[in-house]
Every structure is written in C-alpha cells, then in structure tokens.
Structure 1
Amino acid sequence: MANPSLLILAGDGIGPEVMAEVRKIIDWFGTKGTPFDVEEGLIGGCSYDVHGVPLSDATLERAQAVDAVLLGAVGGPKYDGVEYALRPEAGLLRIRKEMDLYANLRPAQCFEALADFSSLKHEIVSGLDIMIVRELTSGIYFGEPRGIQTDNEGGRVGINTQRYTTNEIRRVARSAFEMARRRGNRVCSMEKANVMESGVLWREEVTWIHQNEYPDVALSHMYADNGAMQLVRNPKQFDVIVTDNLFGDLLSDAAAMLTGSLGMLPSASLGAPMENGRPKALYEPVHGSAPDIAGQGKANPIACILSFAMALRYSFDMGEAATKLERAVETVLADGHRTADLMGEAGGTPISTSEMGDAILKALAA
C-alpha cells in the first residue's frame, strides 16, 4: 500500500516555525515504521508574493489529491492594503470551500498542568474536554448577495447574507452526532431561532437528524448568546456543541481561552470521503499568524502538533499513535516546560519554539 500523503502549507508569520516542529514528529514516525509522503506548498501572503494570488490552482489541485493537508497560519499587516479577494485569508476560505470541508472540529481541552492559566477559576476548567463542531462552508461568510453598496440617499450599505440549506445542516449535524458517539453521547445545538429564520431551519433539521438517525444520542438546543454565557459559566456541562459558521467562529474562540492560550488548540476541517475512504481533510492550529513574534522563536508549537495528532486519528485511523502524541504533550507540560505564552504570573525563563518541539519529541520517544 502507498504511504499516507500529506501536503504541508506552512503559510505566514509563525506558521513556518511551528510547522518545523511538526515535521520533526512526522519524520520520527517515519523511523518507527510509519513513513509519510510529504510535499510542501504556499498559501496566504507568501503565495500572493510569489504567484499574485493567496492560493494557486496548482496548490489547490495538490490539496485535493493528498490524504490530508497540514496548514500553519495565514495573514499579516503587510497585506492590509490588498484587495479583499487577494488577501491571505481569501486563500484559506477558498481551500475550505473548494475542498468542501464542511465540518470544522475544534476541541477545547484543558491540560491539568495549565488549569491555572485560564482566566476562569481552576475548578471550572480543570478536566475540561469539549468539542465544537462548526459548519464551515456556508452561512454568512459565503452567502449571496454580499458586498458594499450605495443606497438612494448616497449612504453606504454593507450586506452579508446568512443562508443555509437542509443538506448543509444535516451533514454537519451527522458529524456532530457521530463525534458524540465517540465521546459522552451528548450534543447541544446552538443557533438564534428566536430571531433568525435560518436558526429556525437549523433547529428543525438538527432535530430531524436526531429523531430519525441518532435517537440514542442526547440532544439539547440553546440560543447561541446563552451558549456563550454558559461557556464561561459552566463549560463542563457540554460534550459536543454543533453550530453554524458565524456562531462557531465566535464560540470556538471563546472556548479556546478557557484553556489558557490559543497556542494550545488544534482543529480539523473534514469533508466527504474520498475513493480510499479517508475524508478530505485540513488540519490547522486555531491561532493566527502572530506577526509580532514571527521569527523570534517564541511561538508555541503545541496547537500545530496537536493538529497533526488529530490527523493521525481522523484521517489515518491511528488512534493509538494520536493518543501517544497527546500524552507526550501532557507529560512535557506537567514537567514544567513552557513557551512564553504559558509563563503566567510566576515568571521564569520560557523555552523556545524548537526547544518545546524537542521536549515533546523526547517524551514521545520515551
């Protein structure tokens, strides 16, 4: 059988730095009998600099062909003046849309060693382990009409359209229910059915999927604004949260900070199965490109490393290897290794990006 294939798109800012640490781990698995065929490409600002577009057709073609894509981060102030369609973020939106990666999985797990780094009390976040399933290829970020227009009085009007279809809601709901069956068997669906017709449709279709396909999974509904409040009030009440593109963007970032640092959180974006049975997939850390610390060795590579662990689990059916890598991260944190974002009030001397990667690799090999 052919080796599993990966396309690495390190991107901009701290992307290349954190991805370099992932590459060490990929290479380590190769020495242990699980080699990966790895190629690299450009996305975001670096692609714009070379090709004049944030994602070239050739890179997109390769992304469609491999088993999984690993992405670092895109963007930076250098591109603030570039027109919207050519900005780095447009490349990210395009690859998600063209690959039809409709289910975005964002775990929020609080490692015990970092429970005191959250802005919430220790007892509220200790042991936290929730999964947010965000619809990723429709909703207000993609709906038409959109744009900025001039009205009859000469004023300007910004327009974005929130739009969902039955199929778009049902398929991401199925992803959430399947995920719940692997975990605590509970799904909470979040929308704004009290003020939005798209929210009414969302609630009705999620309910239909539950009643007809997943009656064994507990389902609850919550308005998204209340969901945001509950995430900071009692986050451990949740197991799997499923929500639309806009609310998922907001709620997952709120959940991210429960763990103490955006540098800790991975994500997976999954689509329909390919001919080999593996889902189309893109894995990336939740954090951005952090241009203020790029090139300084200060970035935390853990989110990117954990994103590769998600690839092992969801693309390559290597659950034991994924758990082993996750436990290596937990061991390193428990031993007191900290990058700058994890120093807290106690102070001390942080380790560098590469030193954190080396420490995780050592724990993995132990």
Structure 2
Amino acid sequence: MKTTSLAATLATVAIVGSVEAQDTYEWRMATGWGGGPLMDIGAQAFADRLELLSDGRMKVEVFQGGAIGEPLKVTDSVRRGIADMGHTWPGYDWGRDTTAVAFGGFAGTMDDERMMHWLYEGGGVELWKEWRQEEFGVVGMPLFTRTAETFLNSRKKVQSLEDLEGLKLRTAGAWIDMSKELGASPVTTAGDEIYPMLERGVIDATEWGTPWEDTYPKFYEVTDYIIVPGVHQPVAPFELQVNQEVWDSLNERDRQLIETAAELTTLKAWMKVGHESAAAMKLFEEEGLEIVELDPEVQVKAREIGIEWANKQSQENEWFDRVWESQREFEKLWADAESYRRLVPETRALGLDTE
C-alpha cells in the first residue's frame, strides 16, 4: 500500500488552499461608447478575456457611454472612483495635457504598424503608464487600436484645400485646432449626436473612425462622399484606465493578467479593424457613395501642420517632449523599413492590382 508523506500532504493542502484563497473581483467600467466595434471588440472583449484568463475571478461590467459619468470625461470618473475602470480615447484629455494626443494619435503620428511596434517594443507602453499615473492619478495602457481613419464622411465633396474652407466639421482632440489651419470650421460632440447633426445639415462632415467603424453609425445613409486617406489620424490607440486604489490593491500576478488581457485585445482589434475596413469600402461603393482621394497638397499640408504643432508642444510641455522624442527616434530606426519589408511589384505579379 502506497503511503503519502506528511510533507507531501501539507504541500498539497497549501496549494489547494492558495488556489481557493485567491481574491475575486467585480468592477464597473465606464466607456464613451453606445455600441459598435469600440464596445464589442474593445471594452467588452477585454472584460470577457480577463474573466477567461482569471478563471472567472475577475469580472468587469461594461457600461455604455453616459451610464457612469460623462462619455468624454471617463478619466475623471475613474480617477474619482465613480468607475473602477474606463475605456476611452486618450486624446479626449488633450485640453488638460496635450501629451494625450501623442499617445492617441494625430496628424503628425507614425502609421499604425510603427505605432504598434513603438508601443509594445519601443517603450511606449511604459511611458504611457508613467505619464497617466504622474499627471492624472490613474493607471493607463493601450486597449484597442485603429488603422488609419476615414478622413471624412461628408455631404460635400472635399478634395482640395479650397474645399475645406468654411467646412462645418465634427472632430475631436488636437485636430480641432489643426483643421482650422486648413480653413475648416470644427466643432466637437459625442458620437451619438453626429448622425442627426449630419442629417439636419448642422454639420457638413464628420471624422469618426476607420471605414469599418463608420458603418455602425451608418453615416453613409446621410452623406454622399467618403474622403480618404485619414491623414488627420493615421492611427488611434484607445485606452484602458484603472483606478489607482483598485490597482494598488492587486498583487503582481493579477496586474499582469489585466495587462495581458489588454494587450491581446489590442492586437486582435488591430487585425480585425484592418480586415473589415477593406469590406467596408466595398459597401460604400455599393451604397452609391463616391470615394474621393485627397489631393497630395492637402495630405502634405496636414502632415506639416501636425509636426509643427508637435514641435511647439515639445517646447512647452516636458512630458510631450519625452514622448515625441521617443517616437521620432523610433521612426528614424524604421526609416528604411520599406526597402527590406515590402515587395513593390508583388500586387501586380499576382494579378491583384485593380488598375
């Protein structure tokens, strides 16, 4: 008959007791969204993934925008403890600290592939977390990201600099000021107000998200043109925020579970958005919208405005300077990436070009 040593028995009891004693959590998450991809493959996908990775110990109840605090002020709700967590776009906080735009993306930002590599391999996530805690008193990290946005869903054809003069445009973040330099007349508003404003002609055009994300609010029902590419927003990382007291109460393993769930959700969202946007462009054509490509002059001008703005912020804002310098150094490292990563003739050789 096989016997079990006292030491082995005690070890087994200790292991079982440790597992049983693991803390369980139920948190509330504020968001700025009424639905769509930001909710489905962003906030809610994170909550589902975290529950799975933690074997059900960590549950997050996700609330639509406005159910907990104001949709554009999620950071305040998380900082004050009104919500335990939040899902927002960091650029909404640009009025308090323009560094928010350096993380959230703007006209001077690198493209989405470079941004993703900078965040997870170039030190971006670490800077992000340090900045949020120091300047806002919350824990922040990427959660969901976009490929390049649609420049405009528009009632009017916009292609040249002249077409932008006086254009009544809904936007957010630093592009509010930058678009003025292009001659536009920008306003900002929450997402659920955009459709009726377009329908009534209160605004001429809006930027919102990528082509795929723009299919959810169905702007194509009340517009006639899709304007590309999204030079104002080459990429848009979104953010998970955690209340500082909540974060401090967690052990290191549980913090890592949250970080892992957020990173996996961001990577999955990036791939999903990129793929679905190709199908969305076909949908717009089928719906009878005209696809308009911005004149090179507009694209170059927007990029110049973005970089000039960022250089100015660097002179006035120490945190912005740290982030901007890190991003520019990363871009220098990747400057020749196209030469060894992309095969220019590949599309034509496979007979995939649409010309």
Q: What's the TM-score, normalizing by structure 1?
A: 0.24
Structure of larger gyration radius: 2
Question: Which is richer in helix?
Answer: 2
Question: Which is richer in strand?
Answer: 1
